[in-house]
Amino acid sequence: MPNEIYFSIIIPAYNEERRLPKTLAEIDKYLKRQDYKYEIIVVSDGSKDKTAEVVRDLKPIIKNLILIDNKENHGKGYVVRQGMLEAKGEYRLFTDADNSTSVDQIEKMWPEFEKDFKVVIGSRDIKGAVIATPQSWIRRRLGDIFNLIVQIISGLWGIWDTQCGFKGFTSKAVEDIFPKCKIDRWAFDVEILVISKKLGYKIKEIPVTWVNDPESKVKLKGMIEMLFEVFQIRWNVITKRYG
């Protein structure tokens, strides 16, 4: 229907006052050329800087910009879940504040949604993906080993890039999957995909163009914490905590 929102884009943000204005400007430039109704939702995860203020200042300039301003930090998984469930779009995408994967990559998802896939995720590790600014060799190798371990533990065999911050869902898939999620921080992407698979959703990977941000906040400590959370997800599956 004409008054219904077709597309929601959700951006989790923690201390992103510097990078957000450029990212939001590029998203706005793309979306205002489209002929569907949309919304842009920024979810601040208890930011200590001026993230929320920056978004408020941009609301008169950027159409359909919405701010969810959490006063406390809960974790990226928590705010992604919050934004996805509060969104109203028939199709919902979450993406990173650093704009490593630009919003125009959604064009690759629409044909897959038309083929009746309900969960479509960006991948940097399948044929057709373009890494415009690659990570260091050691970081790539560590990432490959880590992804292999994640696949084995989680049961997501064949999905080589569980962590790409560019994932799209139908509204029905969001309503089925996200209320069951329990991981608030590092391994939330893995949990989303595990629950999707458990519920019978086929997961479609699409190649994306990705630009590495040298200021990435994911460090070795985060990878170790994520590994512990992946084991927690496995335990949740075994103990039927996902229903």
Residue 3's CATH number: 3.90.550.10
Question: Which DSSP state fits 217?
Answer: -
pLDDT above 90 (res 215): no
pLDDT (0 to 100) of residue 221: 79
Q: Could you tell me if 76 and 139 lie in one domain?
A: no
173: in domain: no
Q: Could you tell me if 223 and 136 lie in one domain?
A: yes
pLDDT above 70 (res 3): no
Type of residue numbered 181: C
pLDDT above 70 (res 91): yes
The number of beta carbons lying within 10 Å of the beta carbon of residue 120 is: 26
169: in domain: no
| Domain count for the chain | 2
**pLDDT tens-place string over residues 41-52:** 999 999 999 999
* Range with lowest mean pLDDT among 50-54, 99-103, 160-164, 178-182: 160-164
In whole angstroms, what is the distance from residue 56 CA to residue 214 CA? 27
Q: Could you tell me if 144 and 240 lie in one domain?
A: yes
148: in domain: yes
Q: Could you tell me if 82 and 148 lie in one domain?
A: no
pLDDT above 70 (res 68): yes
Backbone angles phi, psi at 214, to 5 degrees: -60, -15
104: in domain: no
Beta strands in the chain (DSSP E): 7-13, 38-45, 65-70, 91-95, 119-123, 130-133, 166-170, 203-207, 209-211
122: in domain: yes
Q: Could you tell me if 140 and 229 lie in one domain?
A: yes
Higher pLDDT, 12 or 163: 12
20: in domain: yes
162 and 150 Cβ atoms separated by less than 8 Å: yes
Domain of residue 149, residue span:
114-164+179-243
pLDDT above 90 (res 224): no
In whole angstroms, what is the distance from residue 187 CA to residue 183 CA? 7
Question: Which DSSP state fits 178?
Answer: G
Q: Could you tell me if 59 and 147 lie in one domain?
A: no
Two tokens, residue 4: 């219904």
Among 73, 99, 125, give the residue marking a domain's end.
Answer: 99
Q: How far is CA 38 from the centre of its chain?
A: 17
Q: Could you tell me if 121 and 227 lie in one domain?
A: yes
What mean pLDDT is predicted for residues 26-33?
Answer: 98
What mean pLDDT is predicted for residues 103-112?
Answer: 98
In whole angstroms, what is the distance from residue 28 CA to residue 62 CA? 6
171: in domain: no
101 and 108 Cβ atoms separated by less than 8 Å: no
What mean pLDDT is predicted for residues 196-208?
Answer: 97
CA distances from 83 to 44, 66, 68, 144 (A): 10, 10, 8, 29
Q: Could you tell me if 66 and 154 lie in one domain?
A: no
In whole angstroms, what is the distance from residue 65 CA to residue 80 CA? 16
Q: Could you tell me if 153 and 59 lie in one domain?
A: no
83 and 177 Cβ atoms separated by less than 8 Å: no
- Radius of gyration of the chain from its Cα atoms, rounded to whole angstroms: 17
108: in domain: no
pLDDT (0 to 100) of residue 11: 98
Two tokens, residue 20: 């957000």
Among 76, 99, 122, give the residue marking a domain's end.
Answer: 99
Q: Could you tell me if 119 and 209 lie in one domain?
A: yes
Q: Could you tell me if 129 and 225 lie in one domain?
A: yes
User: Residue 2: which pLDDT band, with cuts at 50, 70 and 90?
Assistant: low
Q: Could you tell me if 122 and 32 lie in one domain?
A: no
pLDDT (0 to 100) of residue 133: 74
CA atoms within 13 A on the CB side of 86: 18
